[in-house]
Structure 1
Amino acid sequence: MKRIERYALGFFKAREKLGVREWAEKSVVLSERITEQAGPYSIRLYPYVREVLEAVSDPEVQRVSLCWGSQTSKTTTFYVMLGYTIDQRPRPILWVFPNEQLVRVFSSDRWLPFCRESEVISRHLPRYSEGQVDTDLITLKKQEFDSCTMNLVGAGSSANIRSFPISILVLDEIDVIDEQTRRECLDRVKGRTDYKIFQSSTPVNEHGGIWQEFNEGDKRRFFVTCPNCEAKITFRWKNDEGDLNVTWDEGANLEGGNYELSVVQETARYICENCSGEITDSDKLKMVQAGEWIAGNPNAAKGTRSYHLNSLYSPMITFGRMAVEYLNAKETVDGLRAFTLGWLAEPYKPDQGLVDPAEFKALEVESNERGDILGDYRIISVDVQRTYFVWIVRGFDKEGTSYLIDNGISQVFEDFEAIIDRYEVHKGIIDTGYRTQEIYENIFSNPTFWVGAKGWDKMPTPYRLTRLDPYSVMKKQARKGGGQINLLHVNKQVWQEELLKARSGQKLNWHLYDSVDAEYVRQMLSTNLVERVNAKGKTVTEWLVTGRDDHFWDCETYALAVSSAFGLGGAVIQKVEKKPNRAPTPSQTEESIW
Structure 2
Amino acid sequence: MICRKEPKGLNDYESKEDSEGRNMSSEKLRSREKTRKLFMRCIHKSLSRPERLTVSQWAEKYRILTDNSALPGRWSNAITPYLVEIMDSFNDPYIQNINFVKSTQVGGTETLINATGWIITQNPSPTMIVYPNDELAKDVSNDKLKPAYQKTREIKSRFFQTKSSEKNLRFRGMNLYLRSGNTPAALASKAIKYLFFDEIDKMAGATKKEANPYNLAVERTKTYGYSKKIYTCSTPTLKSNYIWRFHERAEAQKYYFVPCPHCGEMIILKWQQVRFQNDEDNKMTIEERAETASYYCQECGAEITDSEKRAIIRQGEWRDMKKTCREKPTSVSFHINALYSFFVSWKDIALEFLRSKDDPEELQNFINSWLAEPWEDTTVKTSEELVMQRQAEEPQGVVPDWAVMLTAGVDVQETSVYYDIVAWGAEWTSQSIIHGQLLSLNDLEMYMNAEYKNSSGEQFYVNLCLIDSGDQTTEIYAFCLRHEWAIPVKGIDGGNNHYRVTKINRKGAEYDGQQLILVDGGKYKDSIARRLQKENGIGSCMVHADCDLEYAKQLTAEHKVAEGSGQRRRLVWRPKVSHGDNHFTDCRVYASAAADICGVRTIGLYDANEDAAEETPHKKSSWINGY
Between 1:267-276 and 1:324-333, the stretch displaced more is 324-333
- Following TM superposition, by how much is the alpha carbon of 1:299 offset from its aligned partner in structure 2, in angstroms? 4.6
In structure 1, distance between residues paired with 2:584 and 2:281: 42
Identify the match of residue 104 of structure 1 among 138, 152, 157: 138
- Following TM superposition, by how much is the alpha carbon of 1:86 offset from its aligned partner in structure 2, in angstroms? 1.1
Identify the match of residue 220 of structure 1 among 254, 262, 275: 254
Task: Give the SS at the match of 1:317.
Answer: coil
1:210 is aligned to 243
Is 1:89 aligned to residue 115 of structure 2? no
Identify the match of residue 54 of structure 1 among 78, 83, 88: 88
The letter for the 2-side match of 1:297 is K
- Following TM superposition, by how much is the alpha carbon of 1:103 offset from its aligned partner in structure 2, in angstroms? 1.8
- Following TM superposition, by how much is the alpha carbon of 1:461 offset from its aligned partner in structure 2, in angstroms? 6.2
Identify the match of residue 73 of structure 2 among 22, 28, 39: 39
Give 1 or 2 for the bigger CA radius of gyration: 2
1:17 is aligned to 52
The letter for the 1-side match of 2:316 is G
Q: Does the C-alpha gap of structure 1 residues 332 and 511 become closer, same or farther in structure 2, counting only changes over 3 Å?
A: closer
1:541 is aligned to 571
Task: Give the SS at the match of 1:153.
Answer: strand
In structure 2, distance between residues paired with 1:52 and 1:571: 46
In structure 2, distance between residues paired with 1:264 and 1:363: 33
8 Å contact kept, 1:254–1:260: no
Q: Does the C-alpha gap of structure 1 residues 31 and 561 become closer, same or farther in structure 2, counting only changes over 3 Å?
A: closer
Is 1:323 aligned to residue 355 of structure 2? no
Is 1:173 aligned to residue 199 of structure 2? yes
The letter for the 2-side match of 1:199 is T
Task: Give the SS at the match of 1:60.
Answer: coil
8 Å contact kept, 1:205–1:348: yes
In structure 2, distance between residues paired with 1:226 and 1:83: 35
Identify the match of residue 279 of structure 1 among 292, 297, 304: 304
Identify the match of residue 200 of structure 1 among 223, 233, 247: 233
Which string of whole-angstrom CA distances, capped at 9 and with x for unpartnered residues, describes residues 457-502 of structure 1?
A: xx98699xxxxxxxxxxxxxxxxxxxxxxxxxxxx99999899589
Which string of whole-angstrom CA distances, capped at 9 and with x for unpartnered residues, describes residues 146-192 of structure 1?
A: 12211111222101111111110011111121121222112222352
Task: Give the SS at the match of 1:163.
Answer: coil
Which string of whole-angstrom CA distances, capped at 9 and with x for unpartnered residues, describes residues 399-443 of structure 1?
A: 8799xxxxxxxxxxxxxxxxxxxxxxxxxxxxxxxxxxxxxxxxx
Task: Give the SS at the match of 1:537.
Answer: helix
Is 1:347 aligned to residue 377 of structure 2? no
Identify the match of residue 560 of structure 2 among 504, 513, 529: 529
8 Å contact kept, 1:11–1:147: no
In structure 2, distance between residues paired with 1:259 and 1:114: 41
Provide the aligned length of Structure 1 versus Structure 2: 420
In structure 2, distance between residues paired with 1:139 and 1:229: 55
1:388 is aligned to none
8 Å contact kept, 2:356–2:366: yes
After superposition, where does 1:130-529 map in structure 2 within 5 Å?
Answer: 133=161, 135-136=162-163, 138-179=164-205, 180-191=212-223, 192-217=225-250, 218-238=252-272, 245-248=274-277, 253=279, 256=282, 258-259=284-285, 261=287, 264-265=290-291, 267-299=292-324, 302-349=329-376, 351-352=378-379, 354=381, 363=389, 504=533, 508-509=542-543, 528-529=559-560
8 Å contact kept, 1:226–1:232: yes
8 Å contact kept, 2:522–2:572: no
In structure 2, distance between residues paired with 1:364 and 1:113: 57
After superposition, where does 1:564-579 map in structure 2 within 5 Å?
Answer: none
The letter for the 2-side match of 1:272 is C
- Following TM superposition, by how much is the alpha carbon of 1:118 offset from its aligned partner in structure 2, in angstroms? 0.3
In structure 2, distance between residues paired with 1:24 and 1:188: 27
The letter for the 1-side match of 2:275 is V
8 Å contact kept, 2:557–2:585: no
Which string of whole-angstrom CA distances, capped at 9 and with x for unpartnered residues, describes residues 51-110 of structure 1?
A: 101111111111111111111111111111111111112211001111222222211121
- Aligned identity (percent) is 23
Q: Does the C-alpha gap of structure 1 residues 22 and 363 become closer, same or farther in structure 2, counting only changes over 3 Å?
A: same
8 Å contact kept, 2:378–2:529: no
The letter for the 2-side match of 1:68 is K
Task: Give the SS at the match of 2:227.
Answer: coil
1:591 is aligned to none
In structure 2, distance between residues paired with 1:334 and 1:224: 31
Q: Does the C-alpha gap of structure 1 residues 510 and 234 become closer, same or farther in structure 2, counting only changes over 3 Å?
A: farther
What RMSD in Å do the two structures reach over aligned CA positions?
4.8
8 Å contact kept, 1:221–1:293: yes
In structure 1, distance between residues paired with 2:143 and 2:586: 59
Unaligned runs of 5+ in 2: 1-44, 206-211, 397-431, 437-467, 473-520, 547-554, 593-627
Which string of whole-angstrom CA distances, capped at 9 and with x for unpartnered residues, describes residues 215-244 of structure 1?
A: 2223211111222333322112136xxxxx
TM-score normalised to structure 2 length: 0.56
Higher helix share: 2
8 Å contact kept, 1:340–1:347: yes
8 Å contact kept, 2:95–2:229: yes
Q: Does the C-alpha gap of structure 1 residues 533 and 30 become closer, same or farther in structure 2, counting only changes over 3 Å?
A: farther
The letter for the 2-side match of 1:145 is F
In structure 2, distance between residues paired with 1:212 and 1:152: 24
Q: Does the C-alpha gap of structure 1 residues 256 and 221 become closer, same or farther in structure 2, counting only changes over 3 Å?
A: same
